[in-house]
Chain A
Amino acid sequence: MRGISELRNSERELRLFQLRVGIAAIAVFVAFGLLAARFFYLQVVQHDIYSAKAEENRISIVPVAPNRGLVLDRNGVVIARNYSGYTLEIFPRRVNDVESTIDELSGLIDIQPRDRARFRKLVAETRNAESLPIRSRLSDEEVAKFAANRYRFEGVEIKARLFRQYPFGDAGAHVIGYMGRITQADQARLEEEGRYANYRGSDFTGKSGIEASYERELHGTTGFEQVEIDAAGRGIRTLSRTPSQPGNNVTLTLDMRLQQVAEIGFGARRGALVAIEPSSGGVLALVSTPGFDPNLFVDGIDPQYWAELNSSPDRPLNNRAIAGVYPPGSTFKPYMALAALEAGKRRYSSTIHDPGYFEFGGRRFRDSKKGGNGIVDLYRSIVVSSDTYYYMVANDLGIDAIASFMKHFGFGARTGIDLHGEAPGVLPSQEWKRQRFRRPEQQKWYAGETISIGIGQGYNAYTPIQLAQAVATLAAGGDMYRPRLVAHVDNARTGERRYLDPELAHQVPVRSEYLEFVKRAMAGVNKEGTGARAFAGATYTSGGKTGTAQVIGIKQGEKYIESKVEERLRDHSLFIAFAPLESPKIALAVIVENSGFGARAAAPLARTVLDYFLLGKVPASMEQPVPEDDDAEEAEND
């Protein structure tokens, strides 16, 4: 009995168990079915999406930075090129403690405090860079040393990079400009212009000079490589390659030797010189001193040097040739003579007796020549640089007639030279004064203010490039070409050359007879006038005009005594010139700051430049200061 019930019991249990096994089997089937459905969804329905994601995962687009184009001078001399060098770079995102990593590195490789300072500056101002250099220009020995210890430094690598190099150092620095890292501001600008994609592989961009204004030509087109990468971002193999297109080579109109001759001529003095080919507007030399060494900007400038450049009272970063404004002084007189002739206010024979001053409204305007120049006609007014003559001319013409005439020569307007940062200067007129000042009594133009405008003082303020453009226009018979630095642009790969044609910006409506007369008078300046001493013995014909620009106003009845005036408040020395007389090949304007009479500093410098350009004469001892000639009565009369 008991056995049977037990048997029945165990049979019941077995059935119960088998039912549960069945339930379990169904559960297993459902669960695996669920998985199968999930696989179908992922692998068939969403296959395309995941396939694309896998490709995206494994393929990285690596930009290939293009080689930057070269900059050459008019004779094909290379003035900006690239060199490849090793840099030690830190990947900030892969390094936990940058400072202690640098400490460790400095045990291996020479890292100066200024390298650290520069690195910090880079970190602060650079866009989201992958890596930043702590040291550049590593020696082979340093490269080997680091390579042997590489395992110790995660997130630090040696990279071979192309750097910009300027073989002439600080010569022509303001023309060539310099390169710098792409800052956040640069990035924003590039994005706005829709050019940022082309900079994905680039760390640097032109910051000033030709490097900046011809950035589009020089930069080139970034290439791309499709690289298969692993999860750690390491490249495994290249799948496809679109090569980069190197930047175009830019050939300047500039003559680098002439540039050097001019710069050496300045020595330690501050100033600017612009030499232009009158028939085309091509700039032959463009000097601003003091300069700087653009090579120091290449791998991030050391903050201390940067601060020095910025805080120096000499303002070496300022391009005086296009951004410095100066009164033209007596170099303004030839144009005043033209204005008077064209307006019919003077004839060649118009003669005055110069007592050494001009009285107007009870005020005495003094001539720089004590006692005056005696009998002065229009020709002599330029040759001996008579102030009294031009006080009168200005008074007769009136300010607005002067202004509207001078506009034709480009005074007070940007020339449009192919450099950034040009200043407009000031061509004074009644209209200008109304807009310049706010108070009604200041807005009014006083007739007395016109008088000193005639000798290039007063509100007159022009850039050296404007002075050079004006004299080039005069030399070219009234044809004004837009000054430019670039002659042609070449595609380095195809050899295709694109000339930048001279651009005739304006033709001055003045009778050529008058122009010829003024040119003859300027030739007289160099033969028998204020420039005669500087141009003694010249084997070519030339025209010139000296100028002296007051830095401080001299009170009435007070005499300007140079030795009593603080150095930086002394007069600027100016000179404009062109040569040869008949068919001018070169026209130039020179300003030497705080160096007194134009005949003394600027004219000899102009002579040196012309001698080199026309005769190939290299100055023997340029470093020596130009001799002082206080005894030259003639020369002092400016």
Chain B
Amino acid sequence: MELARLPLRHIAARFAEGIDSTLLVLILALSMLGLAALFSATYDNPGRLASQLANLGLALAAMWLVAQIPPQTMMRFAVPAYAVGLALLIAVALFGDVVNGARRWLNIGVGRFQPAEMLKLALPLMLAWYFHKNESTLRLRDFAIAALLLALPVALILRQPDLGTAALVAAVGFYVIFFAGISWKVLGVLGALGAAALPLAWGFLHDYQRRRILTLLDPTQDPLGAGYHIIQSTIAVGSGGLSGKGWLNGTQAHLEFIPERHTDFIFAVYSEEFGLIGNLALLALYTLLVARGLMIAANAATVFGRLLAGAVALMFFTYAFVNMGMVSGILPVVGVPLPFLSYGGTALLTLFIGTGILMSIQRYRKLVQS
């Protein structure tokens, strides 16, 4: 008995090593809510739920693996990952498959994937490495170089076009630069320049992108076209009321009024069935998740760890805020999934790997203390 139990406990302990239980509990709780909402959204298509469960398993494994890698080792991946990501983006621009009018996918024989997704982690990794390397000699020039490193992939993603992903990648890159200590003065100047450039940017937008922004301002202008998503998802959220219509009882969801209800608009399904109470619970979970991430960043041992953890934590926040803002009608419709809840393997993988990175940084927080 003793003999049999010992190695088992040992193995369990070995597996638990490096896993931050707070983060794990939070993301598992979010994933459970996601599965509940997904079950409701894909009531007539149970295959989706099974495949999401498989995605979750794979993502958990990836998280565990990443959590085992010390930040020191991660730093070594920064430049190659960034370079490969950039190369793939260029490949997409040259030979990518066009789906729904956008060239985003790269066919790699066994299947297609979106290299832009990779940049969501590769870019902060690269920038955090760059700032870490130049830790003691940071000057304005370094920030300019960092901005260039950020602008390259963002420009390529914008060209696909994929406004949502470009904005997310840019945001995550910016968080690194922000945490690296860019001066408020520079930020102010850049902000003013950016605001001035907005009309110019408008000119570069595609028609459908402009329409989405206009639609946000007045969804009733095109109730069956671009405004349809916003109108129907807002109705779903609003009709949920305080305590929701109850699990599996959402009429907007079950009668298919909500488009993309298992992916980008799963929050509408969740919100309709669980109401304000459910929404606040979800917000609380995200707040705790982001707070835990920022705490890990604050306690990180190295500049690399700090910047990367901070950026990943804020990436979770950005995903959640943009998605829920879009579904509830205060942000334009962009293709951003709700973290840990939306159906889809790629996004889940990115999020869990991000969590794994946080866990690794947390685990090695004291080791370099000297």
- Which residues does A use to contact B, with CB under 8 Å? 6, 9-10, 13, 16-18, 20-21, 24-25, 28-29, 31-32, 34-36, 38-40, 42-44, 46-47, 49-51, 53-55, 57-58, 228-232, 236
Contact = CB atoms under 8 A, between A and B. Distances in A.
B238 A9 contact: no
A45 to B, nearest CB: 9
A13 B181 contact: yes
Contacts of A230: 255-257
Contact of A35 (B178, B283, B313): B283
Contacts of A6: 136
Nearest to A25: B294
Given A17-B297, A231-B255, 6 more contacts: A35-B283, A36-B283, A39-B276, A42-B234, A47-B241, A231-B256
A39 B237 contact: yes
A31 B321 contact: yes
Given A25-B294, A42-B238, A53-B235, A35 B328 contact: yes
Contacts of A31: 317, 321
Interface in B128-153: 135-136
A20 B182 CA distance: 10
B32 interface: no
Contacts of B297: 17, 21
Given A29-B287, A51-B238, A17 B255 contact: no
Given A35-B283, A53-B235, A228 B255 contact: yes
Contacts of A47: 238-239, 241-242
A18 B310 CA distance: 10
Given A25-B291, A57-B235, A39 B317 contact: no
B287 A17 contact: no
**5 smallest beta-carbon distances between A and B, as pairs:** A50-B238, A54-B239, A230-B255, A42-B238, A43-B276
Contacts of B179: 17, 20-21, 24
22 contacts: A9-B136, A17-B179, A24-B178, A24-B294, A24-B313, A25-B291, A35-B324, A35-B328, A36-B279, A39-B237, A39-B279, A42-B328, A43-B240, A43-B241, A44-B242, A50-B237, A50-B238, A57-B255, A57-B257, A230-B257, A231-B257, A232-B256
A43 B238 contact: yes
A28 B286 CA distance: 10
Contacts of A28: 287, 290-291, 294, 314, 317
A46 B236 CA distance: 12
B251 interface: yes
B57 interface: no
Interface string B168-195: 0000000100110100000000000000
B59 interface: no
Contacts of B271: 39, 43
B255 A229 contact: yes
A21 B255 contact: no
A405 B290 CA distance: 105
A484 B287 CA distance: 84
Contacts of B279: 36, 39, 43
B181 A50 contact: no
Contact of A21 (B236, B283, B286, B310): B310
A259 B321 CA distance: 82
A249 B317 CA distance: 71
B16 interface: no
B303 A13 contact: yes
A337 to B, nearest CB: 78
Contacts of A232: 256
B325 A35 contact: yes
Nearest to B321: A31
B256 A54 contact: no
A18 B297 CA distance: 9
Interface string B276-295: 10011001001100110010
A230 B257 CA distance: 7
Interface string B312-356: 011001000100110011100000000000000000000000000
B291 A49 contact: no
Interface in B228-286: 232, 234-242, 251-252, 255-257, 271, 275-276, 279-280, 283, 286
B298 interface: yes
B241 A36 contact: no
Contacts of A10: 135
Nearest to B300: A17
Nearest to A229: B255
Contacts of A36: 279-280, 283
Given A43-B279, A229-B255, A51 B239 contact: yes
A32 B234 CA distance: 18
B242 to A, nearest CB: 6
A577 to B, nearest CB: 69
Given A32-B287, A229-B255, A231-B256, A20 B178 contact: yes
Nearest to A9: B136
B306 interface: yes
A17 B324 contact: no
A17 B256 contact: no
B277 to A, nearest CB: 9
A53 B283 contact: no
A20 to B, nearest CB: 5
A238 to B, nearest CB: 14
A9 B188 CA distance: 25
A347 B110 CA distance: 118
Nearest to B320: A32
Contacts of A229: 255
B181 A16 contact: yes
A41 to B, nearest CB: 9
A24 B291 CA distance: 10
A44 B324 CA distance: 17
A395 B238 CA distance: 91
Given A13-B181, A31-B317, A54-B251, A43 B237 contact: yes
